[in-house]
Amino acid sequence: MNKLFVLLWIGFIVILTTACSFAKNKPVETSPIPYILYLKDYGAIVNDGIDDVRAIKKALTDCNAKGAKMLVLEKGQYDFYPTFASERYCYISNNDEGLKRIVFDLKDISDLTIDGRGAQLMFHGFLSPFVLEGSQNIKFENFSIDYSRTFHTEAIILGYDAEGMDVEILKNFPFKVHRGTLLFTDGKKQNGELTTVSKSETFGSSHMLEYDTQKRETAYMVKDFYFSDINGFPAKLLGGSKVRICVPGLSGTIGNTMVFGPNHRKHPGFVLSDSRNINFYNVTINHAGGMGILGQRSHNITIDACKVTPSNGRMISVTADATHFVNCTGKITLTNNLFENQKDDATNIHGIYVQVIEKKADYTVIVQLKHQQQHGFDFMKPGMELELVHGKSMITFDTVTVKQVNRINKEITEVTFDKNLPANLEIGDAIAEIQDYAEIHIANNIVRNNRARGMLLNCRGKTVVENNTFHSPGAAILFEGDSFFWFEQGGVRDCVIRNNRFENCLYGVWGKAIIDVKAGIMENKDISRYNRNILIENNVFQIYDDLTLLNAYCVDGLIWRNNTVEKTMAYPKTGKLNKRFIVDYCDNVQIDDQNDH
Amino acid sequence: MNKLFVLLWIGFIVILTTACSFAKNKPVETSPIPYILYLKDYGAIVNDGIDDVRAIKKALTDCNAKGAKMLVLEKGQYDFYPTFASERYCYISNNDEGLKRIVFDLKDISDLTIDGRGAQLMFHGFLSPFVLEGSQNIKFENFSIDYSRTFHTEAIILGYDAEGMDVEILKNFPFKVHRGTLLFTDGKKQNGELTTVSKSETFGSSHMLEYDTQKRETAYMVKDFYFSDINGFPAKLLGGSKVRICVPGLSGTIGNTMVFGPNHRKHPGFVLSDSRNINFYNVTINHAGGMGILGQRSHNITIDACKVTPSNGRMISVTADATHFVNCTGKITLTNNLFENQKDDATNIHGIYVQVIEKKADYTVIVQLKHQQQHGFDFMKPGMELELVHGKSMITFDTVTVKQVNRINKEITEVTFDKNLPANLEIGDAIAEIQDYAEIHIANNIVRNNRARGMLLNCRGKTVVENNTFHSPGAAILFEGDSFFWFEQGGVRDCVIRNNRFENCLYGVWGKAIIDVKAGIMENKDISRYNRNILIENNVFQIYDDLTLLNAYCVDGLIWRNNTVEKTMAYPKTGKLNKRFIVDYCDNVQIDDQNDH
C-alpha cells in the first residue's frame, strides 16, 4: 500500500512538472500533453465554399486564451474572403506596405503549431495569409496556400508586329477591356455605374515577361518589359479571350506564355516581423501576391521540406522571391525544399542601409530609407551598434552606438550617436546595423525555372550552401550590396559553396556569371574589399556554352577548387566570348581549375 | 503713497488674473495678452523656395508647449515638400483614406489662430495641407493654399474621330507617354532604370470632362467620361505637347479645355475630424487633391469670406467639392464665400448610413460601411441613439441605443443594442446616428462654374439658405439620401430657401430641376416621406429654357411662393418639354407660381 502510494505520488509530481513545463508563462494547465484545438470545433467545414475567416479568428483567440499548443486543421479546402479579416498597416521589406486584411493574424502569439493535416487554404481576393509580429515558437506544417484569382495573369502569344502583340488570355485569369485599357479582374460583374468615386478591384499589372510554354521556364534570353506606374495595358478586344496589346516594341515566340506581372507585392504568403523561432515543415505555397516567406528583424527561421510551386497548370508560383530575409539573426535554415517558378529569386539574405542626408548637430544625423520597399523599416534602437560606410567606396570607416532615435516618418529618422559625428562622415554615406549576423545553412534544395537568380548571399554570418541543385536563368548565386539602388547591406565573411549542381544556368539575362560576386563600389576599388573568405569547392557546373563560372569584384579571399565542368547542348550558344573566370580588384584569390574540362 | 501702492497692487492682481484666464490649463504666462509666435522665428523665410515643413512643425510644437494663441505668418510664398512632413493614416469621408504626409498637423491642438497675413502656402507633391483631429477653437485667416503641380491636368482639344482625340497639354501640367500610356508627372526626370519594384510618382487620372474655354465652365450638356481603375490613358505622342488619346467614343469642341480628373481624392485642403469650433476667415483655396474643406463628426464650423477659386489661369480649383460636412453638429455657417470652378458641388451636409448584413445574436447586428470612401468612418459609440431604417422604403421604423461596439475592420462593425433586435429588422436595412443635427446657415455666397450641383442639403437641423447666387450646371440645390449607392443620410426637417438668385442653372447633365428634392425610396412610396417642411420663397430663377424649377419626390410639407422667373438666351434650348414643377408622392405641397412668368 505504502509503496503504491509513493509511486502514485511520484507519478503525480512527474505529471505536474511536465504540465508546468509546457505551460511556461501561461496559467498552469491540468493536461500533461500539449493542449490541442481543432478548427472544426469553430465552425470551419472543409470544401463547403463558405468563408472560414471568423473560425480562424475565434480559434486563434482561443489558442491564446487557453494556452493551446496546437491548432489542427483537416484535409480539404478552407476558403477565406476579405470581409471579416482583421486589418493592420504593415511595412514589409522588399514588398509593399499598406493596410492589410490578414487571415492568420499571429501578432504576439507564442508557442503554437498549426498542423494542416493536408489542408488546402484557398484565399479569395486581396488577403494576407499569415502575418507574425512579435510571435515566438511558431510551427507551420502540412498545408498549402493558394489563391482562386492570382495576382498575375498568363496568356499565349498569338503573334506580334511593330505596333503590338496579340495574345489569348488563359482561363481562370479574368479580364476586361474598358475604353482602350486591358484590366485584369476577379471576373465578378461590376455593380453600379462608374462615378467620380468608383473603385473597382483590378489586379493591376505593369510588366511582362515571356516564358517557354514547353520548358516551363523564362524563354531563352528574354528581358523584362517594364511599364511606368500603370494598372493595365493599352489594348483592343479581338473577340473571345483574344486581345491585342497596343504597345510598340513587344516581341515573342508564338505559342509561348506571356506573363503579366502584378504592379505590387501587397500580399506575401508569410510575413515574419520581429519574431523568434519560426519553423516551416511540409508547407506548400502555390501562390502569393508578393514573396512566399518574408522574414524581417527575426531570429531563427527554419524552412524544411517545403515547396514553392505553381498549381493548376499555371506557369508562375509566387509573384516575387520564394523566401527573403532582412536583418535577421540566429540561424536561417533552408533544407530539402523545392523553389520553382517563382517570379524572382529563391532567396536573398541581407541587411538594410539608410543614407545620411543631413548632419543636424554634433551628435545627430538625419537618415533616409531610400528604397521605397524599405520604407517603415525602423531598425535603429538605442544601444544598437551601427557601421558608418562611405557611400561610394562601401568602406566601413567607423562604428557608433545609437543613443536616441526620433522617427519623422516612414522614410526619415533623426539618430543621435553616443559620440561626435566623425569628421569624415559625408552626406550620402550609408549606415547599417552591426549585429550578430545570422548563420545560414542552405542544403538539399532544388531551385529552378524562376525568373532571375537562384540565391543572393549577403549575410555576414557563417554561410554554407551545399548539395543544392540550381537551374536559374541568371546567376545561380549572387553576392551584392550597394548604397545607391537597392540599399541592401551584404558582404559575406565566411561562405562555403560545396557539392552543388549548377545545371544549365545563365540561359537568361540576369547575371554575368554562374557565381557572381558583385558590390556597388564606385570609388577606391583598389582598397575596398566587400565580400571575404569564399570557398567554392566540389561543385558540378553543367554549361551549355563557354559561360563565365565566376565573376569576382572587390573580393578578399576566395578559393576555387575541385569543381567539375560538364558541357551540354541544352540551349543555343550565346555567341559571346566569355571568360571562364573574371577577377577584378581582388586580393587572395586562388583558382584551381584543373577539373574544369 | 499708500493709495498708489493699493492701486498698483490692484492693477497687478488684474493683470495676473487676465494672464491666468488666457493661460487656462497651460502653465501660467507672464504676458497678459494672447501670446503670439511668429513663423519667421522658426527659420521660415518667404520666397526662398526652401522647404518650410520643419519650421511649421517646430512652431506648432512651441504653440502647444507655450500656450501661444496665435501663429503669425507673413506676406509671401512658403514652400512645403513631403520629405519631413509628419505622417498619419487618415480616414476622410468622401475622400480617399491612406497614410498622409501632413504639413499643418493640428492633432489635439486647441485655442490657436493661424493668421497668414497674406501668406501663400505652396505645396509640392503628395501633401495634406491641414489636418485637425480632436482640435478645438482653431481659427484660420488671411492666407491661401495652392499646389505647384495640380492633381488634375488641363489640355486643349485639337480634334477627334471615332478612334480617339488629339489634345495639346497645357504647360505646368507635365506628362510623359511611356509605352502607349499617357501619364501625368511632376516633370522631374526619373532616376534609375525601371525594375520589378519601380514606383514613379504619377498624378493618376481616370476621368475626363470638357470645359468651355471662354465661359470657364463645364461645356454645355457634356457628360463625364469615366474609365475603370486606371492611372493614365492609352495614347500616342504626336510631338511637343500634342498627344493623341487612343480611346474610342471621345468627342468635344475644338478649342475647349479637356480636364483630366484625378483618380483619387487623397489630399483635401483642410480635414476637420472630431473637432470643435473651427473658423475660417479670408482663406483662399486655389487647389487641393480632393475637397477644399471636409468636416466630419465635428461641432461648430464657420467659413466666412473665403474663396475656392483657381489660380494661374487654371480652369479647375479643387478637384472635388468645395466644402463637405458629415455627421456634424452645432452650427455650420457658410457666409460671404466664393465657390467657383471646383470639380464637384459647393457643399454637401449629410449623415452616413451603415447597412445591416447579419443578425448575429438577439441584441447584436453586423453592419457594413458600404461606400468605399466612408470606410473607417467609425461613428458608433456606446450610449449613442441610432435610427433603424428600412433599406428600400427609407422609413425609420425603430430607434435603439448602442451598448457595445466591436470594430472588425474599416468596413465591418459588430454593434450590440440595449434591446432585442426588432422583429421587423431585415438584412439590407440601414442604420444612422440620431443626433443633435447641425443648424445650417448658408448666406451671401456665390457658387458658379463648378461641375455638378450647387448645394446638397441633407441635414435635419434648421437649414437656411439665403441671398446666395448660383450658376450651377446641375441642380442648384439638391436634397437626397439613400441606402443603396451613396449611403448618405439626409431628410431635412425645416429648410428655408429664400432671396437667392439662380442664374442660368441646369446647363449640364447633373439634375432634372433647379431645386431637386430626391430620395432613394424604392418601396412604399405612398407612405414614405423623406424630406419635410421646405419653404422656397422670394428667389429669382433666371432660366434659358422651359426648365423644371422644382422636382419634389416623397416630400411632406413644401411651400413655393413669391419666386420670380426671368427668361434669358444664355444657352441653346434643350429641345425637351420640361414641366415647370414635378411633384410625385408628396403630401402638403403648396405651389403658388403667380410670379413665374
Contact B249 A408 (CB under 8 A): no
**Domain shared by A73 and A167, yes or no:** no
In whole angstroms, give the CA distance from residue A452 to residue A474.
5
> Cell triple for residue A586?
581582388
Contact residues on chain B for A61, CB-CB shorter than 8 A: none
8 Å CB contact of B412 and A192? no
- Contact A84/B197, CB-based, under 8 Å? no
A180 Cα to chain B: minimum distance (Å): 5
In a domain, A452, yes or no: no
Give the C-alpha separation, B31 to B20, whole Å.
Answer: 9
Residues of B within 8 A of A83 (CB-CB) are: 411-412
pLDDT at B7 exceeding the cut of 70: no
Q: Give the model confidence (pLDDT) of A376-424 as tens digits.
A: 999 999 999 999 999 999 999 999 999 999 999 999 999 999 999 999 9
Least confidently predicted of A349-353, B188-192, B559-563: B188-192
Residue A89 and residue B99: Cβ atoms within 8 Å?
yes
pLDDT of A9 strictly over 90? no
- Candidates B161, B196, B406: best to mutate against A (most CBs of A within 10 A) is B196
Q: How many CB atoms lie within 10 A of CB B382?
A: 12
Residue A48 CB neighbours (<10 A): 12
d(CA A212, CA A233) in angstroms, rounded, equals 22
Chain A residues in contact with B204 (beta carbon < 8 A): 229
Domain contains A285: yes
Query: Is A400:A388 a contact under the CB 8 Å cutoff?
Result: yes
Name which of B533, B539, B537 is nearest B589 in CA terms.
B533
Question: Which of B367, B401, B433 is at the close of a domain?
Answer: B433
| Phi, psi angle pair for B64, to nearest 5° | -65, -45
Does residue B14 carry a pLDDT above 80? no
Q: What's the distance, Cα to Cα, between the start and end of chain A in Å?
A: 81
- Asked if A392 contacts A356 with a C-beta cutoff of 8 angstroms, the reply is no
Residues in chain A closer than 8 A to B202 (CB atoms): 228-229
Q: Per-residue pLDDT tens for B71-97?
A: 999 999 999 999 999 999 999 999 999
For residues A15 and A56, membership in a common domain is answered with: no
Residue after which a domain boundary falls, among A262, A278, A305: A262
Nearest CB to B227 within list A179, A204, A228 = A179
Retrieve residue A22's grid coordinates. 509546457
Q: Indicate whether A190 and A290 sit together in one domain.
A: no
- pLDDT above 60: residue B25: no
Q: Give the whole-number percent of chain A exceeding pLDDT 70.
A: 92
- Residue A18's pLDDT is what? 43
Q: What is the pLDDT of residues B417-459, one digit of tens each?
A: 999 999 999 999 999 999 999 999 999 999 999 999 999 999 9
Rounded to a whole number, what is the distance in Å from the CA of B296 to chain A's nearest CA? 18
Optimal mutation site among A161, A202, A226, A228, interface B, most CBs of chain B within 10 A: A228
| Cell of residue A470, nine digits | 540550381
**Dihedral of alpha carbons B79, B83, B87, B92, sign:** positive
Q: What is the residue whose three cell numbers read 449623415?
A: B351
B280 plus B137 within the same structural domain: yes
Please enumerate in sequence order all residues whose Cβ is within 8 A of that of A371, keeping only pairs 6 or more positions apart, or say none: A485, A486, A487, B197
Contact B183 A229 (CB under 8 A): yes
Mean pLDDT of the residues in chain A:
94
Q: Which amino acid is at A28?
A: V
Nearest-Cα residue of chain A relative to residue B207: A196
Whether residue A245 is found in the same domain as residue A302: no
Are A64 and A104 in contact by the 8 Å Cβ rule? The answer is: no
Contact assignment for A229 to B344 by CB distance below 8 Å: no
Residue A178: list chain B partners with CB under 8 A. 227-228
Of B94, B200, B409, the CB nearest to A229: B200
Q: Are A228 and B179 an interchain contact pair (Cβ–Cβ within 8 Å)?
A: yes
Q: Do B181 and A410 touch (CB under 8 A)?
A: no
Nearest partner of A220 among A508, A434, A545, A28, judged by Cα:
A508
Average pLDDT over residues A455-482: 98
Does any domain span residue B449? no
Are both B233 and B297 inside the same structural domain?
no
* CB-closest option in B84, B196, B231 to A207: B196
**A305-337: pLDDT as tens digits:** 999 999 999 999 999 999 999 999 999 999 999
Cβ–Cβ below 8 Å for B227 and A178: yes
pLDDT of residue B13: 47
Give residue A230's pLDDT. Answer: 94
Q: Is the pLDDT of residue A271 over 90?
A: yes
pLDDT in tens, A340-356: 999 999 999 999 999 99
Whether residue B399 has pLDDT greater than 90: yes
3-state secondary structure of B433: strand
Q: How far is CA B497 from the centre of its chain?
A: 21
**What pLDDT, on a 0 to 100 scale, did the predictor assign at position B28?**
47
How far B290 CA sits from the closest chain A CA (Å)?
11
Beta B233-239 vs B181-184: how paired, if at all?
antiparallel
CA A327 – CA A295 distance, rounded (Å): 8
Percent of chain B with pLDDT over 90: 91
In a domain, A456, yes or no: no
Give yes or no for residue B21 having a pLDDT over 70.
Answer: no
CB pairs under 8 A between A and B: 143
Cα–Cα distances (Å) from B262 to A193, A342, A393, B202, in that order, read: 18, 35, 43, 10
Please provide residue A455's backbone torsions phi and psi, each rounded to the nearest 5 degrees: -130, 140
Residue for cell digits 510631338?
B239
Summarize pLDDT for B252-284 with one digit per residue, the tens: 999 999 999 999 999 999 999 999 999 999 999
Q: What angle do CA A366, A369, A373 make, to 5 degrees?
A: 165
pLDDT at residue B41 above 50?
A: yes
Q: Within a domain: residue B451?
A: no
pLDDT reading at B6 higher than 90: no
Tell me how close the Cα of A243 comes to any Cα of chain B, in angstroms. Answer: 15
Residue whose C-alpha cell is 480562424 = A56
Q: How far is A232 from chain B (nearest CA, A)?
A: 7
Residue A233 distance to chain B (closest CA, Å):
8
In a domain, A136, yes or no: yes
Cβ-defined contact of B228 to A202 (cutoff 8 Å): yes
> Do B177 and B243 contact (CB within 8 A), yes or no?
yes
Find the CB nearest A180 among B200, B247, B344: B247
* Contact assignment for A226 to B194 by CB distance below 8 Å: yes
* Among candidate residues A229, A262, A295, the one where a domain is terminated: A262
All three cell numbers of B541: 430663377
Q: What is the DSSP string of B106-169?
A: -TT-EEEEEEEEEEEEEE-SS-EEEEEES-EEEEEEEEEEEESS-SSEEEEEEEEETTEEEEEE
Contact assignment for B176 to A228 by CB distance below 8 Å: yes
List the single range of A186-195, A510-519, B537-546 with lowest mean pLDDT: A186-195
Amino acid A32: pLDDT: 52
Tell me the per-residue pLDDT of B289-348, one tens digit each, with 9 for 90 and over: 999 999 999 999 999 999 999 999 999 999 999 999 999 999 999 999 999 999 999 999
**Spatial separation of the C-alpha atoms in residues A185 and A195, rounded to whole Å:** 19
- Spatial CB neighbours of B137, under 8 Å, sequence gap ≥ 6: B110, B111, B112, B276, B277
Helix, strand, coil content of chain A in percent (nearest 5): 5, 45, 50
User: Cβ–Cβ of B248/A180 closer than 8 Å?
Assistant: yes
- Return the SS3 of B574: coil
Residue A292 has a pLDDT of 98
User: Which pLDDT does position B593 carry in this prediction?
Assistant: 87
Instruction: Give me Rg for the CA atoms of chain A.
Output: 26
Q: What is the 3-state secondary structure (H, E, C) of B508-550?
A: CCCCCCCEEECCCCCCCCCCCCCEEEEEEECCEEEECCCCCCE
Does position A512 have pLDDT exceeding 90, yes or no?
A: yes
Task: Answer whether B179 sits within 8 Å of A249, measured CB to CB.
Answer: yes
Please say if the pLDDT value at position B210 is more than 50.
yes
| pLDDT of res. B194 | 73
Q: For residue A11, give the H/E element and its range.
A: helix A2-23
What interface predicted TM-score (ipTM) does this complex get? Answer: 0.92
Which of B242, B221, B117 is CA-nearest to residue B175?
B242
Selecting from B83, B89, B373 the residue whose C-beta is nearest the C-beta of A412 gives: B83
Q: Tell me which residue of A454, A458, A580 sits closest to A510, measured CA to CA.
A: A454
- At A413, which CATH number? 2.40.10
Residues A462 and A439: their CA atoms lie apart, in Å, by: 5
B233 neighbourhood in chain A, CB within 8 Å: 180-181
What chain A residue is nearest to B230 in terms of C-alpha separation? A231
Inter-chain residue contact A229 with B231, CB threshold 8 Å: yes
* Separation in Å, CA B120 to CA A198, B74, B77, B194: 33, 9, 5, 37
Distance, in Å, from the CA atom of B454 to the CA atom of B322, rounded to the nearest integer, reads 10
Nearest Cβ partner of B227 from A86, A181, A408?
A181
Residue B74 grid cell: 507673413
Residue A6 has pLDDT above 60, yes or no: no
So what's the pLDDT on residue A363? 97
Provide the 3-class DSSP secondary structure of residue A290. Answer: coil
Beta bridge partners of A469: A446, A501
For A195, the closest chain B residue by CA position comes to: B226
Taking an 8 Å cut-off on Cβ atoms, the answer to whether A179 and B409 are in contact is no
Q: How many domains does chain B have?
A: 5
User: Are residue B137 and residue B271 in the same domain, yes or no?
Assistant: yes
Residues B197 and B286 reside in one and the same domain: no
**What is the percent of chain B where pLDDT is above 70?**
92
Question: Is A449 part of a structural domain of the chain?
Answer: no
> Looking at the structure, do residues A482 and A580 belong to the same domain, yes or no?
yes
Pairwise CB contact (< 8 Å): B229 & A202: yes
Mean pLDDT over A133-153 rounds to 98
- Alpha carbon B106 to chain centroid, angstroms: 19
Check whether A537 has a pLDDT greater than 90.
yes
Burial class (CB within 10 angstroms; exposed 0-12, middle 13-18, buried 19+) of A594: exposed
pLDDT bucket at B26, cuts 50 / 70 / 90: very low
Contact A227 B192 (CB under 8 A): no
Overall average pLDDT of the B51-57 stretch:
98
- Whether A188 is in a domain gets the answer yes
Same domain, residue pair A335 and A285: yes
Q: Are strands B515-517 and B550-553 parallel, antiparallel or unpaired?
A: parallel
Question: CB A248 to CB B180 under 8 A?
Answer: yes
Across the interface, whether the CB atoms of B248 and A179 are under 8 A apart is answered yes
Q: Do A200 and B84 touch (CB under 8 A)?
A: no
Residue numbers of the domain that contains B326? 37-149+266-340
Give pLDDT, residue B105. 98
Q: Which of A491, A470, A476, A482 is nearest to A551 (CA)?
A: A476
Using alpha carbons, select from B506, B399, B501 the residue that is nearest to residue B446.
Answer: B501
B236 and B283 inside one domain: no
Report chain B's C-alpha Rg in angstroms: 26
Q: Which three cell numbers stand for residue B498?
A: 429664400
How much is the pLDDT for A596?
A: 65
Beta bridge partners, B284, equal B144, B307
CA distance A40 to A115: 13
The C-alpha cell that represents A180 in the structure block: 482602350
Shortest Cα distance from B193 to chain A (angstroms)? 10
- Going by C-alpha positions, the residue among A464, A584, A452 that lies closest to residue A530 is A584
Q: Tens digits of per-residue pLDDT, B92-117?
A: 999 999 999 999 999 999 999 999 99
The whole-angstrom distance between B232's CA and the closest CA on chain A is 7
At residue B223, does pLDDT exceed 80? yes
SS3 category, A126: coil
CATH number at residue A320: 2.160.20.10
According to DSSP, the residues that pair with A119 across neighbouring strands are A76, A143
pLDDT digits (tens, 9 = 90+) for A573-590: 999 999 999 999 999 999
Determine contact, residues B15/B7, Cβ cutoff 8 Å: no
CB nearest A229 (choices: B202, B228, B246): B202
Q: How many of the other CB atoms lie within 10 Å of CB of B508?
A: 24
Q: Are A264 and A204 in contact (CB under 8 A)?
A: yes
Q: Coil, helix or strand for A303?
A: strand
DSSP three-state, residue A374: helix
Residues B504, B528, single domain; the answer is: yes
**What was the pLDDT predicted at A13?**
47
Q: What is the mean pLDDT of residues B7-33?
A: 47
Question: Please, which pLDDT band fits residue A199 given cuts at 50, 70 and 90?
Answer: low
